[in-house]
Amino acid sequence: MIELVNVTKKFGETTALDNLTLRVQKGEIFTVAGPNGSGKTTMLRVMAGIERQTCGQVYFRGKLVTDNSLSIVRKNSTLVFQNVTLFNTTVYNNISYGPRLREYPEKDIDEMVKSVLANVKLSGYENRSAKRLSGGEQQRVSLARALALNTEVLLLDEPTANLDPKNVSIMEETILRVNRERKTTVVMATHNMFQAETLADRAALLIGGRIAQIGTPQEIFRRSSEHLASFARLENVFSGVARTLEGGLTVIDLENGVNIEAAVRREGRVTAFVRPEDIILSDRRLVSSARNVFRGKVTGISDFGDTVELRVDAGKEFTAQITKRSFKEMKINIGSQIYLTFKASAVRVT
């Protein structure tokens, strides 16, 4: 469906893409994982025909993309940006805008709006003001707006960045459903390794504008490699020595008196990963079956609108994500003492 051959993109003296070659098959979900600044957004913009490469070739449906054929690419693909920009009008008008530009019949537009809103679980939101929705709901409207165009290719730039777990789950379910039911080809850029692994048929690591590794998610994300180790944007990545316990569990010694338990059987040196959204934060120790409980001090707070990201020193630095409402209710500040709780099944080990 899409092929980039020796594509380089420069902005002045800055090289965003460096001799990049990859092929996206028709009907697959292809994820590109990489830290901020790795070139993911630029790659998507080149695929969408928004940016023209400095050198190299881009192919769409097997045909070389030229200035004269850019309109074909733009008509048959759509890019959902990380930063949502909605019109100051109703949800219905936002979603119907694109189909109207393409002169779809009004009856078809009405059916499409209702269909895509159901897909993103926003049925009944047609007459609401788009600007007054929560950040997660706005991101879902943005995805619905793209789905209403019913293009062959859906390009997604960090579609779930800074969303709470509920909205992340809805977005991911929608992406999978559209791919399976419509056979839409999906290319998704993300810094979330676990999302890239879970959703993808194939995946690539993009670091410094170059493809560092490409293959199945299992080949890339479940094997230790220098490329994966250099993926600095990942939070909660720890190296340690593992030993097995009774009951199918493994305890991993991270040093500094910190041990975490994982629901796998491994021995020797390993790398462990815990998603920020899998960590439960509380101001007192929770009574639960979770195997991992730590007490730590808040060292950093990042506000992302609907969610807040916290860095907590519990012998090792953990990053956790909570809703803005929970953050306010717990009255968290720098220096606050807080408990971190996560299940052994939430720990990924490579």
CATH of the domain at 162: 3.40.50.300
40 and 122, same domain (yes or no): yes
168 and 58, same domain (yes or no): yes
84 and 180, same domain (yes or no): yes
Tell me the pLDDT tens digit for each residue of 172-204.
999 999 999 999 999 999 877 777 878 899 999
60 and 172, same domain (yes or no): yes
Do residues 273 and 256 touch, judged by C-beta distance below 8 A? no
User: pTM of this prediction?
Assistant: 0.72
Tell me the pLDDT tens digit for each residue of 62-98.
999 999 999 999 999 999 998 888 999 999 999 999 9
- Sorted by sequence, the CB contacts under 8 Å of residue 83 that are 6+ apart come out as none
214 and 247, same domain (yes or no): no
Instruction: Show which of 229, 260, 294 is a domain's final residue.
Output: 229
Please, what is the end-to-end C-alpha distance for the chain in angstroms?
32
Do residues 350 and 270 touch, judged by C-beta distance below 8 A? yes
pLDDT score recorded for residue 30: 97
187 and 260, same domain (yes or no): no
60 and 199, same domain (yes or no): yes
pLDDT score recorded for residue 135: 86
Instruction: Show which of 178, 199, 229 is a domain's final residue.
Output: 229
Range of the domain at 320: 237-349
| Count of structural domains within the chain | 2
Give how far Cα 194 sits from Cα of 27, 139, 237, 344, Å.
Answer: 21, 20, 12, 16
163 and 272, same domain (yes or no): no
Q: How far apart (Å, rounded) are the C-alpha atoms in residues 18 and 24?
A: 18
The stretch 133-152 carries a mean pLDDT of 93
Q: Which tokens belong to 143?
A: 């995805």
Local structure of residue 89 (DSSP, 8 states): S
Do residues 233 and 35 touch, judged by C-beta distance below 8 A? yes
Q: CB 118: neighbour CB atoms within 10 A? A: 12
The stretch 143-163 carries a mean pLDDT of 92
Mean pLDDT over each residue of the chain, to the nearest integer: 90
147 and 6, same domain (yes or no): yes
248 and 108, same domain (yes or no): no
Instruction: Show which of 198, 229, 260 is a domain's final residue.
Output: 229
Whether 23 shows a pLDDT value over 90: the answer reads yes
Q: How far apart (Å, rounded) are the C-alpha atoms in residues 191 and 134?
A: 23
The stretch 243-251 carries a mean pLDDT of 87
Question: Which CATH number is 259's domain given?
Answer: 2.40.50.100
Instruction: Return the half-sphere exposure (C-beta side, CA atoms, 13 A cut-off) of residue 212.
Output: 21
50 and 118, same domain (yes or no): yes
203 and 273, same domain (yes or no): no
